[in-house]
Structure 1
Amino acid sequence: MQRQAASLLLGSIAGKRALVIGDVLLDSFVYGEVKRISREAPVPILSETRREMMLGGAGNLVRNLISLGGEASVISVAGNDPQGDAVEGLLTDCGTHGCTLIREPGRSTPTKTRYVSGSQQMFCVDFDPGAAISADTAKAVIAAVTGALDRADVVILSDYGRGMLTRAVCAEIIKLAKTAGKPVCVDPRGDDYTRYDGAYLIKPNAQELAGEVAMPVGSDAEVEAALAALKSRLGSTPALVVTRGAKGMSFIENGEVHHHRARPRSVYDVSGAGDTALAALSLGVAARLPLADTIALADLAAGTAVGKTGTATVSPEELLDSAIPGAGDVDWRVLSREQAASTVSSWHRDGLKVGFTNGCFDILHPGHLASLRHARSVCDRLVVGLNSDASVTRLKGEGRPVNPAAHRAAMLAALESVDRVVVFEEDTPEALIRAIAPDVLVKGADYKPDDLPGADFIRSRGGEIVIAPLQAGFSTTALVEKMKAGKAL
């Protein structure tokens, strides 16, 4: 998908409201090192260094909906235990617009605990409630859904097989949603999808589809036959989508099967990619986008997620980074101050080191390129602050800039070493630096570190100042004077 198309679709889904109903899991990670074998049995001993907790199951879907620019509220069931308290806190902290966590006495909160040595997962302990929710809890779930439907653009059933989404509960939720005119998307589990019939869209992966219809799904022809077989059982469900990993996605709509091919990706971790795909699909359904466009966006989102480790979320900026550039399609990298601050915050959350440099960059020359490459070499992402036209005139005099800010920004944004560009109106970039809070400030050797605007702020946050070597013989001012004198450049 090209960036311009992705940008339009992302704009369409922004702010759409999803009501997620399903099994929220607590994903717990125990990290450490293995240095010896136990004397009691031939097993490694993990010396624990830290523990982390995050949302899994339907909770990871919620995180993805929010990270893609949508709004999410959630209804789930947990036990009266510390794990349930942790889930409730994580749901609140992740930015949900409503969280109803129904506590069932005597029930355990579904939990997965993974033990990791270095970057290698050793084993996983799965704690399953082991039974369907009680009749009283089911009534509480339906009551919560009834109260939340009017604030939703789409309803998502996220079934992780932990006993919350029983046949009766699914049927009642789908009935209520259809009466309210809200489309329902389903991430299915189990071996009988008829309990979801009446939903707008059901999305199994290839393995789940094969298990449901007891048919192979290796080739396009086999997938087409499997989708047709499943559709014959689901007379009230208009659309079926199957995710096929590196082969992309296939879907049946109005009796016809279509295939969307995935771009080749460097895959690091497929954990949670299905949730990322469902989040994009559901927001596209909420925005009433054509299903083919929605699937293309979902594939782009899932393909971006598998390039990250863990059950990762993806942001609109990361999707645009992953999209195919079109002719002249660079302006998306030019951000406002507020957009840049949000983008840098997301990079920081991913553990990336953010650098910043600035200048007028009136006529790009090899000296600029060398300076920008050096700046990019000391960080993971580089933001360039660009003086506005009025600012350049105040600093350089009448007749400058030669090129307007929009042209200068587009040229910078097209460079491989530059990740984002922000135009600032002030004579110095200090206010911009304080707004985006980078980790590294980079300037050329014609400046002294202590004289740089924003240097004190960077140091106060534990950041660093880097002085880049200058490439002799290059100067925009000298180029302008040569042009005025009619000399060869």
Structure 2
Amino acid sequence: MTQDKTAAVPAPGSALGDDPVRAIEGLARATVLVIGDVMLDRFVHGAVARISPEAPIPVLSVKGHSTVPGGAGNVVCNLAAVGAKSVLVSVTGNDPAADELEDLLGNRAGLTLTLIRDGSRPTTVKTRFLAGGQQLLRADEETDGALDAEAESAVIAAIDMVLPRCGAIVLSDYGKGVLTDGVIAAVIDRAKKASVPVLVDPKGRDYQRYAGASLLTPNRAELSLATGLPMATDSEVETACETAIRDFGVTGILATRSEKGMTLADADGVLHIPAQAREVFDVVGAGDTVIALMAAALASGLDRANAARLANLGGGVVVGKTGTAVARPDELVAAAHGATWLEGERKVHTLAGMVDQVGLWRRQGKTVGFTNGCFDLLHPGHVHLLQQAREQCDRLVVGLNSDESVARLKGPERPVHNETARATVLASLASVDAVVVFGEDTPLDLIRAVKPDVLVKGQDYTVETVVGAEDVQSWGGRVFLAGLLDGHSTTGTVKKLRGG
């Protein structure tokens, strides 16, 4: 392996290439097959105000209960959260907990569910007791016995039916018996023949059972246990990753390292990806988020390095939440941009997030305006136009050309500022309520999705030449042509700078 020990994550915004929003939106193109141990995660929430007189333990005054899918179930929930399609193959007991799991998973968009019932084993249930967002106790109802031959054959048959339509495979191993050696070998063999990557969230110390897999995603403690090597420094992590790749016959390792981020090691070298500064509330399910986003990113066409960067963003999002959680596209966009927008509001959205936000505003009785542009080197003319646009509506959405789109429209030396910088500046303006990046040459598709009540452009256009005017008028909206300030032009400013 050729090492690149100096590799580091780029500045926020370039961490997913030149167009992070498009990379995140691209996850919706993915279909991922998830195989492994599914379970119910129950949470009992309350408060502690005293110690029990019966024993030196806290007394939890219960305030509420919640239940979510866990294990492999949480992987598919994370896939659904970013719009990816998924197929889940697992085994449950034949009990009320299995019924509850099917109900919880059955309403996930894009999920095809195959839960094989086995009356000889219970459905795994983990119950966590929390006070003030912190865990006090966890109680587990489970078995770790391997599947019998009949159940194993049923799992492999189910996999054979769905594998041809999947772009990546996740083996979610929680050591509860679904991923037998026979199931793992069958999956890896079939995936190799179909050229589909296999990602494994491993369990235990015998990683040789995953030989032939594309990527293992152990955490720091798990990789240290499997290799018998220390994991304190970058150099030690690199050595452990190289050892695992060599000894276990896999092609790559993505080691999660808590506050130190992640390390990706494969034939292309070693990439250390720093964690984003964030208060950690709970690490439950963070590994599920990481492997789900990594798999979806690979299935959508991202290379391993950028897929790992996206997964790192997702891991950072979920550890800031309590309990089994997911990372949503708007949260990933905000993390990619490295900023929290004014007044605590994340103003930069994906297309799907923007449509949801506009729907909320409309339910509140708000009118929605839309304008668009490159907004490179923001100047008083831009500010004047945006102020006029905001006066025409209750909420103003700004469509921002992506870097690639600006380069096509303005030439290869533009934009001066990348889309992260441009979005950050726009989001800081009181007149702007939301920003959404689009990669096409015109915002027509975006306008049709947002369906604004008011479409705003400058008076250097006519109503007939404004892109989307006919559509907006067709649903009862109107077009407003804003006045312009003379003497302000980004192109002119760039020429002056080059001349100087």
TM-score, L = length of structure 1: 0.71
Which of the numbers 310, 329, 350 marks the counterpart of 1:316? 329
- Please give the alpha-carbon distance, in whole angstroms, between the structure 1 residues aligned to 2:243 and 2:132: 45
- Please give the alpha-carbon distance, in whole angstroms, between the structure 2 residues aligned to 1:125 and 1:106: 21
- Please give the alpha-carbon distance, in whole angstroms, between the structure 1 residues aligned to 2:200 and 2:182: 15
Residues 207, 24 of structure 1: alpha-carbon distance in 2 compared, 3 angstrom cutoff: same
Pair 1:305-2:332 in alignment: no
Q: Tell me how far 1:209 sits from its aligned partner.
A: 0.5
> 76-85 vs 295-304, which deviates more?
295-304
Which of the numbers 266, 279, 292 marks the counterpart of 1:279? 292
- Please give the alpha-carbon distance, in whole angstroms, between the structure 2 residues aligned to 1:298 and 1:482: 44
Which AA in structure 2 matches 1:266? Answer: E
- Please give the alpha-carbon distance, in whole angstroms, between the structure 1 residues aligned to 2:101 and 2:23: 32
> What per-residue deviation string (whole Å, max 9, x for no partner) do you get for residues 44-73 of structure 1?
333333221101111111111111221111
Q: Tell me how far 1:232 sits from its aligned partner.
A: 1.5
Q: Tell me how far 1:141 sits from its aligned partner.
A: 0.6
- Please give the alpha-carbon distance, in whole angstroms, between the structure 2 residues aligned to 1:27 and 1:360: 42
Residues 146, 189 of structure 1: alpha-carbon distance in 2 compared, 3 angstrom cutoff: same
Q: Tell me how far 1:35 sits from its aligned partner.
A: 4.7
Q: Aligned residue pairs: how many?
A: 395
Per the alignment, residue 453 of structure 2 pairs with 426
- Residues 43-442 of structure 1: matches in 2 within 5 Å? 43-235=57-249, 237-254=250-267, 256-324=269-337, 333=348, 339-343=353-357, 384-385=395-396, 413-415=426-428, 419-420=433-434, 425-426=452-453
Residues 249, 357 of structure 1: alpha-carbon distance in 2 compared, 3 angstrom cutoff: same
Maintained 8 Å contact 1:344/1:354? no
Residues 357, 128 of structure 1: alpha-carbon distance in 2 compared, 3 angstrom cutoff: same
Residues 63, 323 of structure 1: alpha-carbon distance in 2 compared, 3 angstrom cutoff: same
Maintained 8 Å contact 1:110/1:127? yes
- Please give the alpha-carbon distance, in whole angstroms, between the structure 1 residues aligned to 2:114 and 2:332: 30
- Please give the alpha-carbon distance, in whole angstroms, between the structure 2 residues aligned to 1:282 and 1:482: 49
- Please give the alpha-carbon distance, in whole angstroms, between the structure 2 residues aligned to 1:355 and 1:185: 46
- Please give the alpha-carbon distance, in whole angstroms, between the structure 2 residues aligned to 1:258 and 1:343: 36
Maintained 8 Å contact 2:206/2:226? yes
Maintained 8 Å contact 1:387/1:424? no
- Please give the alpha-carbon distance, in whole angstroms, between the structure 1 residues aligned to 2:185 and 2:93: 24
Residues 259, 81 of structure 1: alpha-carbon distance in 2 compared, 3 angstrom cutoff: same
Residues 40, 360 of structure 1: alpha-carbon distance in 2 compared, 3 angstrom cutoff: closer
Residues 211, 360 of structure 1: alpha-carbon distance in 2 compared, 3 angstrom cutoff: closer
- Please give the alpha-carbon distance, in whole angstroms, between the structure 2 residues aligned to 1:153 and 1:176: 13
Larger radius of gyration: 1
> What per-residue deviation string (whole Å, max 9, x for no partner) do you get for residues 20-46 of structure 1?
001111001122334554444343333
- Secondary structure of 1:65's aligned partner: helix
Maintained 8 Å contact 1:317/1:343? no
- Identity, in percent, stands at 38
Maintained 8 Å contact 1:17/1:154? yes
* Structure 2 unpaired stretches of 5+: 1-11, 340-346, 372-380, 400-421, 436-446, 456-481, 487-500
Residues 261, 42 of structure 1: alpha-carbon distance in 2 compared, 3 angstrom cutoff: closer
Per the alignment, residue 15 of structure 1 pairs with 29
- Please give the alpha-carbon distance, in whole angstroms, between the structure 2 residues aligned to 1:98 and 1:11: 21
Residues 179, 31 of structure 1: alpha-carbon distance in 2 compared, 3 angstrom cutoff: same
- Please give the alpha-carbon distance, in whole angstroms, between the structure 2 residues aligned to 1:482 and 1:80: 71
Q: Tell me how far 1:224 sits from its aligned partner.
A: 1.3
Maintained 8 Å contact 2:317/2:327? yes
Per the alignment, residue 350 of structure 1 pairs with none
Q: Tell me how far 1:118 sits from its aligned partner.
A: 4.0
* Structure 1 unpaired stretches of 5+: 327-331, 348-352, 373-382, 389-408, 429-478, 484-489
Maintained 8 Å contact 1:32/1:50? yes
- Secondary structure of 2:88's aligned partner: strand
Residues 75, 346 of structure 1: alpha-carbon distance in 2 compared, 3 angstrom cutoff: farther
Residues 42, 179 of structure 1: alpha-carbon distance in 2 compared, 3 angstrom cutoff: same
Residues 208, 419 of structure 1: alpha-carbon distance in 2 compared, 3 angstrom cutoff: farther
Maintained 8 Å contact 1:185/1:199? yes
- Secondary structure of 1:115's aligned partner: strand
- Secondary structure of 2:225's aligned partner: helix
Per the alignment, residue 376 of structure 2 pairs with none
Residues 261, 125 of structure 1: alpha-carbon distance in 2 compared, 3 angstrom cutoff: same
- Residues 437-448 of structure 1: matches in 2 within 5 Å? none
Residues 411, 146 of structure 1: alpha-carbon distance in 2 compared, 3 angstrom cutoff: closer
- Secondary structure of 1:98's aligned partner: strand
Residues 333, 33 of structure 1: alpha-carbon distance in 2 compared, 3 angstrom cutoff: closer
- Please give the alpha-carbon distance, in whole angstroms, between the structure 2 residues aligned to 1:354 and 1:321: 24
Q: Tell me how far 1:296 sits from its aligned partner.
A: 1.3
Per the alignment, residue 477 of structure 2 pairs with none
- Please give the alpha-carbon distance, in whole angstroms, between the structure 1 residues aligned to 2:485 and 2:238: 67
- Please give the alpha-carbon distance, in whole angstroms, between the structure 2 residues aligned to 1:232 and 1:214: 14
Q: Tell me how far 1:202 sits from its aligned partner.
A: 1.1
Maintained 8 Å contact 1:188/1:202? yes
Higher relative contact order by CA 8 Å / sep ≥ 6: 1 or 2? 2
